[in-house]
């Protein structure tokens, strides 16, 4: 099927085009709402400004497709492959992306209100400035996703791992379902933590680039493996705070925090192995200290 065949059949009222082969087709600005394009191959196709309202694109191959400003309200995109696709400013409200693949897709300024991304792989996707209000992101993979300036009011992010995700400029509300840890991180990034009592707070794996912790109580706080480029800790109390594995701090800042009681490496880390030799069993205990000296003690059980 070529583009002309598709348009002719659509104009005659046909909406059923499953498994259509439209690789690299130019479908700019066309009206294909309610069309059944399930299992279709649209790799590298140009669908800029195309209307696909409530279209069925389930399990279609949309790799590297251009859907810039496309209208996909209520469309079924479950199990589709949208890897590398451009959905800039597309209207995806109420669309279903269940178990879809959107690796490295561009959704900058896209309208995704009430869209369903349950179980979707969004690795590396760009959502800068997107509207994700009331969207469902349950069980989605958000590794390396960019959520800067996104609207997350009412969104479902419960138990979603936001490690390393930059939440700067995001908007959430009481209806946003998000773990308490990430709600705190979002608050620190958007409201600042100046003078706050954050004793024993968990910031491990968090992206805290540019966060302001000046004069905050961070005693016993956990910053393990956090990203701290440009973060401010002036006058903050950090006794017992753990910064092991944290990145982005200057040597000067590290020295200052250490002088105030913070640690940058585990004081003690041990692991135990079992060694079996004939009928004898031995335990080997490896002890790693800050000096990186490793000793082994063998005890006959």
Residue-wise pLDDT tens digits, 70-108: 999 999 999 999 999 999 999 999 999 999 999 999 999
* Residue 277 pLDDT greater than 50, yes or no: no
Other CB atoms closer than 10 Å to residue 271's CB: what's the count?
Answer: 9
pLDDT tens digit sequence for 164-180: 999 999 999 999 999 99
Neighbour-count burial for 25-45, b at 16+ CB within 10 Å, e otherwise:
bebeebebbebbbbbbbbbeb
Q: What band does 283 get if pLDDT is binned at 50, 70 and 90?
A: very low
Q: Quick check: 293 pLDDT over 70?
A: no
- Give the model's confidence band at 67: pLDDT under 50 very low, under 70 low, under 90 confident, else very high: very high
How confident is the model at residue 266, as a pLDDT? 60
Give the C-alpha separation, 134 to 92, whole Å: 12
Given pLDDT bands bounded at 50, 70 and 90, which one contains residue 53?
A: very high
Nearest to residue 39, comparing CAs of 20, 14, 64?
20
Find the mean pLDDT for residues 220-234. Answer: 97
For 176-216, the pLDDT digits (tens) are 999 999 999 999 999 999 999 999 999 999 999 999 999 99
Q: Give the whole-angstrom CA distance, residue 243 versus residue 263.
A: 6
Q: Return the sign of the alpha-carbon dihedral for residues 19, 22, 28, 31.
A: negative
Residue 82: partners with Cβ closer than 8 Å, 6 or more residues away: 62, 63, 65, 97, 100, 101, 102, 105
Give the DSSP letter of residue 153: T
Cβ atoms 103, 83 nearer than 8 A = yes
Please state, in angstroms and rounded to a whole number, the distance separating the CA atoms of residues 144 and 147. Answer: 9
Token code pair at residue 15? 């909406």
Query: Taking the CB of residue 272, how many other CB atoms lie within 10 A of it?
Result: 8
- Averaged pLDDT for residues 271-298: 38
R_g of the chain computed on alpha carbons? 25
Cβ atoms of 198 and 218 closer than 8 Å: yes
Least Cα distance to 22 among 4, 48, 10 occurs for 4
Residue 65: CB atoms within 10 Å:
30
pLDDT of residue 280: 41
* pLDDT (mean) for 259-286: 54
> Which segments within the chain are labelled E, that is strand?
156-157, 177-178, 269-277, 280-288, 294-300
Q: Is pLDDT of 122 > 80?
A: yes
How many residues are given for the chain? 301
Q: What is the 3-state secondary structure (H, E, C) of 199-244?
A: CCCECCCCECCCCECCCCECCCCECCCCECCCCECCCCECCCCECC
User: Who wins on pLDDT, 265 or 104?
Assistant: 104
pLDDT > 70 fraction of the chain, expressed in percent and rounded: 88
- Report residue 224 as tokens: 């393990």
Residue 188: φ, ψ to 5°: -65, -40
pLDDT confidence of residue 231? 96
Beta-ladder partners of 290: none
């Amino acid at each position: 099927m070529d583009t002309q065949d598709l348009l002719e059949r659509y104009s005659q009222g046909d909406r059923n085009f499953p498994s259509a082969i439209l690789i690299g087709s130019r479908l700019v600005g066309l009206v294909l709402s309610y069309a059944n394009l399930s299992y279709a191959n649209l790799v590298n196709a140009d669908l800029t400004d195309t209307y696909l309202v409530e279209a069925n694109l389930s399990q279609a191959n949309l790799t590297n497709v251009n859907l810039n400003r496309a209208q996909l309200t209520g469309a079924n995109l479950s199990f589709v492959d949208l890897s590398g696709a451009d959905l800039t400013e597309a209207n995806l409200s109420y669309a279903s992306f269940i178990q879809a693949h959107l690796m490295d897709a561009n959704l900058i300024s896209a309208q995704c209100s009430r869209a369903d991304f349950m179980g979707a792989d969004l690795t590396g996707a760009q959502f800068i400035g997107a509207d994700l209000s009331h969207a469902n992101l349950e069980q989605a993979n958000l590794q390396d996703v960019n959520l800067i300036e996104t609207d997350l009011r009412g969104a479902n992010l419960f138990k979603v791992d936001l490690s390393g995700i930059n939440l700067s400029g995001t908007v959430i509300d009481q209806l946003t379902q998000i773990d308490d840890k990430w709600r705190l991180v979002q608050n620190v990034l958007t409201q600042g933590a100046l003078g706050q009592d954050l004793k024993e707070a968990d910031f491990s794996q968090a992206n805290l680039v540019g966060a302001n912790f000046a004069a905050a109580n961070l005693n016993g706080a956990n910053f393990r493996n956090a990203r701290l480029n440009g973060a401010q800790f002036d006058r903050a109390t950090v006794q017992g705070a753990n910064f092991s594995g944290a990145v982005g701090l200057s040597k000067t800042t590290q020295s200052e925090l250490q002088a105030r009681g913070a640690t940058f490496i585990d004081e003690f880390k041990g692991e135990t192995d079992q060694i079996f030799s004939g009928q004898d069993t031995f335990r080997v205990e490896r002890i790693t200290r800050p000096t990186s000296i490793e000793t082994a003690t063998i005890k006959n059980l």
